[in-house]
Chains A and B, each alone.
Chain A
Amino acid sequence: MKLTLRVWRQRTPEAEGAMATYEVDGISADMSFLEMLDTLNEELILAGDDPVAFDHDCREGICGACSLVINGEAHGPERTTTCQLHMRSFRDGDTIDIEPWRAAAFPVVRDLVVDRSAFDRVIQAGGYVSVPTGAAPEAHATPVPKADADFAFEHAECIGCGACVAACPNGSAMLFTSAKVNHLNVLPQGAPERESRVLDMVEAMDAEGFGGCTNTGECAVACPKGIPLPSIAAMNREYLRATMRGR
């Protein structure tokens, strides 16, 4: 395939960025989107240009590092991560726009790489459980109802990639935070911090400059792991409960 790429180039966090246009040829439909970008970068390096910087790590859809807005959609046209998106989703001759996650809380570091440490600080505020150290506890010592286990697991799938924030017109991190809160709050292991977790994580989220939720639902559509929109309602329920009970 032969493609025209319009890619966001920005040398430093302070520099003015702009879209740059490149042509790539010889792209196979079996390549992943990131392999297509690798091909572009090899050509750029051979030509003596700077390669396009983009985040990636596992390339198997589990780490949450890859993060591109492709043709206006976080992670592109399929419900998956950018690294698991394949070129068969595009056609020969297509023009593809590639932009970084856009949000005040995710400043651009370079080209397509953004700083997502705001998520780490939200996690630090409450995304943990207090456990006694020592030998692993007996697995059946703490029974968890099946429905709760499923609910926790559904939310544990969040890989923290930030697609929800990128897709949200308000740059809101409610879907991410709700996934983390719901995952731990429903389990007995998370019970000791149940109230403080939701209060602290929401406070940290607001302090990072993420926007407020207006329930547009763009986040849940973009999420590569299918965290559903009602998760936000579940977190709001936890928040109200914690506000009434206190820490």
Chain B
Amino acid sequence: MAVTGLAMLAYLVAHMLGNLKIFFGSGDFNGYAHWLRTIGEPVLHHEWFLWLARVGLVVAVVLHAVAAYQLSRRDIAARPAKYERKRRRASYATRTMRWGGIILGLFIVWHLLDLTTLTVNPRAEAGHPYENVVASFRTWYSGALYIVAMLALGLHIRHGFWSAAQTLGAGSARRDRLFKALANGLALLLTCGFIAVPVAVMTGAVS
């Protein structure tokens, strides 16, 4: 859970920073997307790096989901009887990891259909990601879906990053506050960074 989660997290930071290039206009953004396909040339062939990254990400998502499923099955089996009355003290982020993960998984499918395969994109012009993004977020449902998913992502990372630090044995009484602050900071940074794009399109700042 921790290793695959952190791998996806590292990818998300890079992805979020890349997305922000949309604020520099169509030329910059589309040029950046083109460059992504040329990384590693001439050692690597055209788009090879992109495909290596995609394979790595799919492996991470699948392993993460499988581990989550196995862990959840075990945890539910270990606590078969519920309490008549239970006072829960864990935070909202902590209690929503399972559902949050499922929402994120569904979102990833939608996101790929929208902006990678362009299957559900209203413009669907390959090689013109800027125009496709703008067209997508002009529809209310796409923007709303994106924003809700990014709020779920923020919650997932808020608990997940700190939890991963515990799992990997990096946490200690002295460093606990540091890891909590890092988790909150990362969650806020990623959520705001990702949400900035649909909000900009919906308000007309990017068109």
**Chain A contacts to B: CB under 8 angstroms:** 6, 8, 19, 69, 71-73, 97, 99, 102-105, 168-172, 209-218, 221, 228-230, 232-240
Contact = CB atoms under 8 A, between A and B. Distances in A.
A73 B88 CA distance: 8
B171 A230 contact: yes
Contacts of B75: 169-172, 211-212, 214
B141 interface: no
Contacts of A210: 78
Interface residues of B, number: 35
10 shortest A-B CB distances, which residue pairs?
A237-B169, A211-B78, A233-B171, A170-B75, A171-B78, A171-B79, A236-B169, A211-B75, A72-B87, A72-B85
Contacts of A228: 173
Contacts of B77: 104, 209, 211
Given A99-B84, A216-B94, A221-B89, A240 B168 contact: yes
B14 interface: no
Q: Is the interface of B mostly helix, strand, loop or mixed?
A: loop
Given A73-B87, A211-B74, A216-B90, A169 B79 contact: yes
13 contacts: A69-B83, A103-B78, A169-B90, A170-B78, A170-B79, A209-B77, A212-B71, A212-B74, A214-B75, A214-B97, A217-B94, A218-B90, A239-B169
A7 B100 CA distance: 36
A103 B79 CA distance: 5
B163 A215 contact: yes
A240 B168 CA distance: 8
Given A71-B87, A72-B86, A104 B80 contact: yes
Contact of A234 (B78, B82, B86, B172): B172
A97 B175 CA distance: 38
A215 B162 contact: yes
Given A211-B78, A215-B159, A221-B89, 18 more contacts: A8-B84, A69-B83, A72-B87, A102-B81, A103-B78, A104-B79, A104-B80, A170-B74, A171-B75, A211-B74, A213-B167, A214-B94, A215-B162, A217-B89, A229-B176, A230-B172, A236-B166, A237-B170
Contacts of A212: 71, 74-75, 78
A228 B166 CA distance: 12
Contact of B78 (A105, A237, A239): A105
B165 interface: yes
B88 to A, nearest CB: 7
A240 B169 contact: yes
A214 B71 CA distance: 9
Among B79, B82, B86, B172, which residue has the most Cβ atoms of chain A within 10 A? B79
Contact of A236 (B85, B162, B168): B168
Contacts of A104: 77-80
A82 B85 CA distance: 17
A191 to B, nearest CB: 19
Nearest to A217: B90
A230 B166 contact: yes
A72 B82 CA distance: 10
Among B75, B78, B94, B169, which residue has the most Cβ atoms of chain A within 10 A? B78
Nearest to B174: A230
Nearest to B168: A236
Contacts of B175: 230
A233 B87 contact: no
